[in-house]
Structure 1
Amino acid sequence: MKTKLIGYLSYGYPSIEESIKIADVYAKSGCDVIEISYPTDNAYIDSEYISSRMRLAIEKCNDADAYFNGISKIREENPNVELLLLIYEHSIIELGLNKFIKYCKDNSIEDIILVGTKDDTITNELMKNNLKISCYVTFGMPDNEVEEAKNSNGFVYLQAKPDGKVKEGYDTLDKCIKYLKNVGIKTPIYAGVGISTKEDVNMASKAGADGVFVGSAILKKQHDFKELEAFIKELKSGIE
């Protein structure tokens, strides 16, 4: 199976309506998966570039039902594209756990990137309801992160490029992916962080990643839909 191209959608920015249009461009241009980030005014884990977009989205609209309805529209218009949802734990608590679970099931969303967790309470409840919770593993693959990934029911979000210490003997992405598979990880391994060009996508694809995330680089093309479409097609051409 070919590596999936995953496009990050800064949902709600500049508006819900515009996000729906952007999602359509993603789908029509070749994104296999759309990563929808549910906005919050306290995106303390994300970069300032991403968190500022989330804040502006919330300032413009803080209506949970409007966001839910908008994602339903994205699902309706793009039935063949997978949707995964990035959401902060505090946002789920504010929304209500049962409401959030029902929303995900109603919109065929199974994969969740859950960030800002305080403990395993919310994670365990989501998993009990058959939602798949991803697990982030840094390039150095410390033992505790690998163990968490082995116990997760969702995909592994693997840092695509080193930014510091690496595990001895595992200095390239392909070696990291093989290591994770050899220690017993059966769920998909998606690579991200630092992916911004066709060459980056090609590197991750050759390394054996099941999917590759493109974040800020794709957001910076959204001022012009034709440019965005061309950029996504270029990224897609890097997949082997």
Structure 2
Amino acid sequence: MEIILYLSNGYPTLENSYQTAIEYADAGCRIMEVDFPSRNPYLEGQYIADRMAKALEACDDYEKYMESMVKMKKLLPEVHFLVLAYENTVEEIGTEHFIEFCKENDFKDVLLVGLKGEIIKNQIIESGLKVSCYVQFHMLPEEIESAKASNGFVYMQAKPNGNINPDFPTLKDCIKHLRDCGIERPIYCGVGIHAPKDVKMAKEAGADAAFVGSTILKLHEDVPAMKGMIRKFKAQC
């Protein structure tokens, strides 16, 4: 069991996010979700969307983001990086160039969001990279089928937002059903992981890792407090 910390790449500058990755690792984080900030992050809340916008104000050259990611990976070989990218960003970078970058630098796991269709996702999968899939807590049949057909980790919603499937009322029930469906790939839980006790809950439910986002992001300006909080989350793994 691990925690996954979100790294706002380029916020407020590329150098700052690079240093944040170092602090994350020093506090014990071994999986990081690093983004390519999108020019149209329409699925994000205002907090993350604003961070992406400010990152692009500071640097709008995606080649520089790639260079920073490679630098992070070389410095932190013990860390596994997950790459978050909107489809519109992949299109701007160029799908083939994006795939080449990920493969050459061993960024094997991609969270591809904001899909307009299946073409780019299928290109990435066919290249040998792994694309994650999202399953909501109320366990929609079509999302379960998508998870079964995918080749990447399953991003499982950790807590309900009002909708609960009576057949799978708890996170443990949801994860068990995914396993019973034959899914052997990692199941990472997110959306609702705000306190260390939530990591413990995800672990007891059978998750392989838990995404921790805004709780840590909001402590970035107080590094000692941030690292102390990371260690509290990590202690529940």
**TM-score between both structures, scaled by the size of structure 2:** 0.98
| Corresponding letter in the other structure for 2:173 | K
Is the contact made by 1:5 and 1:30 (CA closer than 8 Å) also made in structure 2?
no
**What residue is the counterpart of 2:38 in the other structure?**
40
**What residue is the counterpart of 2:117 in the other structure?**
119
**What residue is the counterpart of 2:84 in the other structure?**
86
- Cα offset for 1:65? 1.3
Is the contact made by 1:170 and 1:176 (CA closer than 8 Å) also made in structure 2?
yes
Percent of counterpart pairs with the same letter? 44
RMSD across aligned positions (CA): 0.8
Deviations 1:83-135 (A, max 9, x none): 00110001011101111111111221000000011111001110111110000
Deviations 1:35-79 (A, max 9, x none): 001101210001111011001111111011111110011101100
**What residue is the counterpart of 2:180 in the other structure?**
182
Is the contact made by 2:171 and 2:202 (CA closer than 8 Å) also made in structure 1?
yes
**What residue is the counterpart of 1:220 in the other structure?**
218
Structure 2 residue matching 1:113: 3-state secondary structure: strand
Counting matched residue pairs gives: 237
CA distance in 2: counterparts of 1:10 and 1:170, whole angstroms = 33
Structure 1's unaligned 5+ residue stretches are none
CA distance in 1: counterparts of 2:63 and 2:165, whole angstroms = 45
Is the contact made by 2:36 and 2:62 (CA closer than 8 Å) also made in structure 1?
no
Deviations 1:3-38 (A, max 9, x none): 121001111111100000000111111112000011
Q: Could you tell me which of 145, 154, 157 is aligned with 2:155?
A: 157
Structure 2 residue matching 1:218: 3-state secondary structure: helix
**What residue is the counterpart of 1:97 in the other structure?**
95
Q: Does 1:11 align with 2:47?
A: no
**What residue is the counterpart of 2:200 in the other structure?**
202
Structure 1 runs (4+) deviating above 3 angstroms are none
Q: Does 1:169 align with 2:167?
A: yes
CA distance in 2: counterparts of 1:215 and 1:157, whole angstroms = 14
Structure 2's unaligned 5+ residue stretches are none
Structure 1 residue matching 2:69: 3-state secondary structure: helix
- Cα offset for 1:169? 3.0
Is the contact made by 2:39 and 2:89 (CA closer than 8 Å) also made in structure 1?
no
Is the contact made by 1:83 and 1:109 (CA closer than 8 Å) also made in structure 2?
yes
**TM-score between both structures, scaled by the size of structure 1:** 0.97
| Corresponding letter in the other structure for 1:167 | N
**What residue is the counterpart of 2:231 in the other structure?**
233
